[in-house]
Chain A
Amino acid sequence: MTGLVARGLTLSLDGRTVLHEACVAVAPGEVVGVIGPNGAGKSTLLRVLSGIQPADAGEVMLEGRALAGMTPGDRARRLSFLPQEGEPPPPMRIEDLVALGRLPHRAARDGARDRAAVECALAETGLLDLRDRPASQLSGGERARLRLARALAVEAPYLLADEPVAALDPAHALAVMASFARLARAGMGVAVVLHDLTLAGRFCHRLVLMRDGRVVAQGRPAEILTDGAMRAVYGVTVRRVGDAVVPWSLTDGRADDERTGS
């Protein structure tokens, strides 16, 4: 079986069930958006898919092999994980930081291939001109691109990105999502946690909708971003601009005011 396939993932942390029989699949060449309210288990799902958080039950298969049976290095070369932004990066040169993405390949000691991967990652994220700058001088948007570049330098066939556009202005967010689309066209499987339903509807081939640790629906964006589902899961009503979905007001009416006129 191709792709990254998870079945029946269940996980409790501190006595709370954070994942309940979650099933999800990411095929090569597609961008899968993971959406849902805060605390729905999206980040936990990604951590389990990446292999850094073992599940209590269920299994993750990567191209037909159980993820749990792989060596950490083997897994790291196939799955690249981009967690939510944590500590600021150290003041290393940007190119040196991106090159750390090659750490899982260090045993191969292929300098030319490493350099090419770093070059590609810098080009894809538009950081070629900034390569000699210390990372500490970057703006928030540039830092997000740097983190993505590090994840791309791994050259893994699958990328798991947790809210990569959360802190970005619209232009940077569009650029990152366009990168994912391009990478998917080149054959990469991408799973991305998103809060922006407009971006999710526009750039994702499929969406996985989560609530309370469960996958409540998955399918093409048009099938998932329905008025009913948005009301039931997020408690919001939506308006549509072309294919895009814009959250408009809370179902209990709290977000309404005279200016929005709803």
Chain B
Amino acid sequence: MIDRRDYPLIAALAGGVLVMLVLSLAWGDSAVSLPSALRDLMAGRHSVGAIIVGQLRLPRAILGVSIGAALGLCGAVMQGYLRNPLADPGLLGVSGGAALGAVLVFYTGLAGVSALLLPAGGLMGALLAVLLLLGLVGQGGTLVLLLAGAALSSFAAALTAMAMNLMPSPYAAYEVMRWVMGSLTDRTLTDVSISLPGTVAGCLLMLTTARALDALALGDEVAESMGFRLRGLSGVQTRVVVGAAVAIGSCVAVSGAIGFVGLVVPHLLRPLTGHQPSRLLLPSALGGALLLLVADAAVRLLSGATEIQIGVLTALIGAPVFFRRVIAMRRSQA
């Protein structure tokens, strides 16, 4: 899965993630000495620095890395599995399900009861969506998967819009809208503990498909003849769908829907990894983490009285990449 030729790229991306991680912990509205805050944190001393770094900046940084990595990896896996460079994690309808679950928590007013209920609603929504998806797809192939995902996404989006439409107070509707746009602000270590296990488990499951994704580049029949089971309980399709759903559901449940990372990052890195699906996985995870940390830093830098949502920013970064791609494609076809 890790090719010697990709070492420089992986090292550069990992270095970038590390730098942004340190920056994310060290930089903020309050001037805090990072080394002393970390020392206090390790020693269990409740200094102001330890609280700011440990309870505000650390969760945000961890979520930036884990959610960005999950989105990047998931995009690479989906694009490899579907052999479509436009595939992204949102395609399965799982993000939509998670968003709907969380919005229903807002709608019913449960969000005010406990902070835990919001991510729990998101997780439930994602879980329900993936069960529906697996039931709909059955032994069907990639086209059935895409259609089922599209149907689920639009249905979840319609229900989400309806919930917002019927929301009792405009303030609640505004809250929901902000949540749906995605954010890492004010997340706590509890959010991390809700999101991280599923994210890691989903990513590990997706990574087991690396060799199969390479074989699939040669077509379904060749992959099967080379010993890879595509359908069925332990088949590649189930591992891709369940892995992506668990990871993305766990992410959306705490951060809201963050678009474009899963689409753009694999797209940008593919030419640098020889267009080989397995070689794209780790760089895409690192690239996703880097992009989200950079976007989060930009959020903090650019936000004035009203915070710019990180999902808006990733889309603002992502869309021009596509404009460039469209122009390049048009030139190559001219």
Residues of A whose CB lies within 8 Å of any CB of B are 47, 50-52, 71-76, 79-81, 83, 86-87, 89-93, 96-97, 100, 103-104, 106, 134, 150, 154
Contact = CB atoms under 8 A, between A and B. Distances in A.
B316 interface: no
B221 A72 contact: no
B159 to A, nearest CB: 36
A89 B214 CA distance: 12
B275 A51 contact: no
B307 interface: no
A79 B215 CA distance: 16
B227 interface: yes
Contact of B218 (A73, A106, A150): A150
A72 B274 contact: no
Contact of B225 (A50, A74, A90, A106): A50
B161 interface: no
B175 interface: no
Given A90-B275, A92-B274, A96-B276, A76 B217 contact: no
Interface in B217-267: 217-219, 221-222, 224-229
Contacts of A96: 274, 276
Contacts of A91: 275
Nearest to A162: B221
B221 A81 contact: yes
A106 B221 contact: no
Interface string B274-286: 1110000000000
A81 B225 contact: yes
16 contacts: A47-B221, A50-B225, A52-B225, A71-B227, A72-B228, A83-B219, A83-B221, A87-B219, A90-B217, A90-B276, A96-B274, A100-B217, A103-B211, A103-B227, A134-B275, A154-B226
B83 interface: yes
A44 to B, nearest CB: 12
Given A92-B275, A96-B274, A106-B211, A76 B227 contact: yes
Given A73-B227, A96-B276, A89 B218 contact: yes
Interface residues of B, number: 18
A103 B209 CA distance: 13
A181 to B, nearest CB: 23
B283 to A, nearest CB: 15
B218 A100 contact: yes
Interface in B65-123: 83
B120 to A, nearest CB: 40
A245 to B, nearest CB: 30
Contacts of B215: 100, 103
Interface string B188-221: 0000000000000000000000010011011101
Contacts of B218: 89, 97, 100, 150
Contacts of A154: 226
A86 B226 CA distance: 16
Given A51-B225, A76-B226, A100-B215, 9 more contacts: A50-B225, A71-B227, A76-B227, A83-B222, A97-B217, A103-B211, A104-B226, A106-B211, A134-B275
A87 B221 CA distance: 11
Contacts of A92: 217, 274-276
B221 to A, nearest CB: 4
A106 B222 CA distance: 16
A72 B229 contact: yes
Contacts of B229: 72
B224 A52 contact: yes
Contact of A81 (B222, B274, B275): B222
Contacts of B221: 47, 52, 81, 83, 86
Nearest to B228: A72
A155 to B, nearest CB: 13
A76 B214 contact: no
A52 B231 CA distance: 12
B214 to A, nearest CB: 5
B268 to A, nearest CB: 15
Contacts of B275: 90-92, 134
A97 B279 CA distance: 13
A73 B215 CA distance: 13
Contacts of B217: 89-90, 92, 97, 100
B260 to A, nearest CB: 23
A89 B218 CA distance: 7
Contacts of A86: 219, 221
Contacts of B211: 103, 106
Contacts of A79: 225
A103 B214 CA distance: 9
Contacts of B83: 87, 90
A93 B274 contact: yes
Contacts of A51: 225
A100 B214 contact: yes
Contacts of B219: 83, 86-87
A1 to B, nearest CB: 23
A89 B219 CA distance: 9
Nearest to B3: A96
Nearest to B221: A83
A192 to B, nearest CB: 15
A72 B227 contact: yes
